[in-house]
Amino acid sequence: MKRLIYFALTVFMFMGSVSAFASGTEKRNPELTERQKVRLQEISQRVEEIKSLDRSKLSREERKEIKNELLEMKKESKALSGGVYLSATAIIIILLVLILVF
C-alpha cells in the first residue's frame, strides 16, 4: 500500500514539472485555409452584431438562443484554430486507468 502511495505522489510531482516545461514552449498556430479564414471572419462579424444588440428588449427564449449560438460559435472557432488540449486532470485519470489495467 505504501508503495502505491509513493508511486502516486511521484506521478503528481512529475505532472507539475511537465506543465512547467510545456508552458515554456512556443505555441504554433496552424495555417488556415481560405474557407476557414472566411468562416472565422463570419463568426467574428456575427459576434459583433450580437454585442451591439439591445438585449433588454429580447424575450427570455431569444436571449437563450443567442447564448447557445455564441457557445456554438466559440466551439467552432476553437476547433478551426486547431489543437487538442488535455487538462492535467484528464492526464492523471488516463495514467491511473493505465496503471490499473496493467
In three-state secondary structure terms, 87 is coil
The pTM of the full predicted model, rounded to 2 decimals, is 0.49
Spell 44-76 as b/e; 16+ CB within 10 A means b: eeeeeeeeeeeeeeeeeeeeeeeeeeeeebeee
- Binned at pLDDT 50, 70 and 90, residue 95 comes out as confident
Q: What is the DSSP string of 55-75?
A: GGGS-HHHHHHHHHHHHHHHH
- 4-13 average pLDDT score: 75
Residue among 94, 31, 42 at smallest CA distance from 69? 42
Tell me: the pLDDT tens digits for 48-92? 998 898 888 889 999 999 999 999 988 888 777 765 666 778 788
